[in-house]
Structure 1
C-alpha cells in the first residue's frame, strides 16, 4: 500500500478527528510540552526546530500532504525540546496517539506502513547527519535538492539555508550556479 493511499485510508477511517488552523509564525508545539498527537498537513507549511543557545536549528519541514509529529515526545510521552511553527497559514488534521495506534494495529498493511515510515525516518536522519558532517555547502545543497525537490518550492530560502547550515546568501549563490 502506498504512503498516499495509507494516509487517505486513515483520513477516510476518521483517524483525524480534529482540525486546527495556525497562522503564520504561530506555534503548534513549543519546547517543554508533551505532545502525543500526529498531524496531517492539509495546507501550508511548518518547520520543526530546536534552540541552540540563541540560534534556531531547523531539523525538519512539513508541507501539504505530510505527516508531522514531535516524534521524541510522541514515542516517549515526555516533554520535547522541539518547536513546531507555521511558516505560513497552515491547516492540520489531528489524531491522538491512542487512535493512531488502534488503527495501525488493526491491519497488517497499516502496521507495515508505520514500520516503513519509521525506517524511512531513520534513513533520512542518517543522510542528514552525513550531509552536516561530511559534505561541503554545495554538496549539501545538491543532495537535499535531489532528495527533496518539492522542499525548494514550498519553503522560503531563509529556512532552507538554516536547515542546510549556511547563510541565505550562500544558498542564493548555489541556486544561481
Structure 2
C-alpha cells in the first residue's frame, strides 16, 4: 500500500471529523504539551522542531496531503519536547487517538494499515538519521531532493537549510549547481 492510499483510507473512514485553521507562525503544539491527536494537512505547511539551547532544530515538515503527529506523545500519552508551527496559513483535519484506535481495532485490514503506518514512520526516521550522519552538505541535499522533491516546492529555503543542517547560502549554492 502506498502512503497516498493509506492516507486516503483514513480519510474515507471518516476519522478526521474536526477542522482547525492555524495562522502563519501560530503553533499547533508547543513543548511540554501532551498531544495525542493525528492531523491531516488539508492545505498549508508546518514544521516540527525542538529547541537545542537557543537554536531551533527542524526534524520534519508536513504539507498539503500529509499526516503529522507528535508520535512520542501519541504513543506514550506523555508531554513531548516538540513544537509544531504553521509556516503559512494551514488547514488541518483532526482525528483523536481514541477514534483512531477504535478504527484500527475494528478489522484486520485496519490493523495491517496501522502496522504499515508504523513501518513507514520507522523507515522515514532511518532515512533522516542517514541524512544527519552523512557529512557532506551536497549528499544531504541530494538525498532529500531525491526522496522529497515536493519539499522544495512547499517549504521556504531557510527552513530546508535548517533541516539539512547547513546555511541558507550553502543550500542556495547547491540548488544552483
1:6–1:110 Cα contact (<8 Å) kept: no
| Residues in 2 aligned to 1:13 and 1:119: alpha-carbon distance in whole angstroms | 21
Could you state the TM-score of these two structures normalised by the residue count of structure 1?
0.96
Give CA deviations for 1:31-63 in whole Å, capped at 9, x if unaligned: 010001000000000000000000000000000
Query: What SS does the corresponding residue of 2:33 show, helix, strand or coil?
Result: coil
Which residue matches 2:5? 5
**1:91-112 residue CA offsets vs partner (Å, 9 max, x unmatched):** 0000100000111121222221
Q: Over residues 66-88 of structure 1, what are the superposed CA-to-partner deviations in whole Å (9 max), with x where a residue is unaligned?
A: 11000000000000000000000
How far 1:118 sits from its partner (Å)? 1.1
Question: Corresponding residue for 1:151?
Answer: 151
Question: Hey, which bits of structure 1, 4+ residues long, moved more than 6 A?
Answer: none
Report how many aligned residue pairs link the two structures. 177
Map of 1:64 onto structure 2: 64
TM-aligned CA deviation for residue 12 of structure 1? 2.9
Aligned CA-pair RMSD? 1.2
Aligned match of 2:114: 114
Q: 1:51 matched to which residue of 2?
A: 51
Shift of 1:124: 1.6
Secondary structure (helix, strand or coil) at the match of 2:56 reads strand
CA distance in 1, matches of 2:36, 2:64: 21
What are structure 1's unaligned runs of at least 5 residues? none
What residue in structure 1 maps to residue 176 of structure 2? Answer: 176
1:6/1:113 contact within 8 Å kept:
yes
Partner of 1:36, secondary structure, is: coil
- Tell me if structure 2 keeps the 8 A contact 1:3–1:113: no
Return closer, same or farther for 1:11/1:131 CA change in 2, 3 Å cut-off.
Answer: closer
Q: Which residue of 1 aligns with 2:135?
A: 135
Q: Secondary structure of 1:88's partner? A: strand
Does the residue aligned with 2:44 lie in a helix, a strand or coil? strand
* Superposition pairs of residues 160-175 of structure 1, within 5 angstroms: 160-175=160-175
Compared CA separation, residues 140 and 97, structure 1 to 2 (3 A): same
- Structure 1 counterpart of 2:74: 74
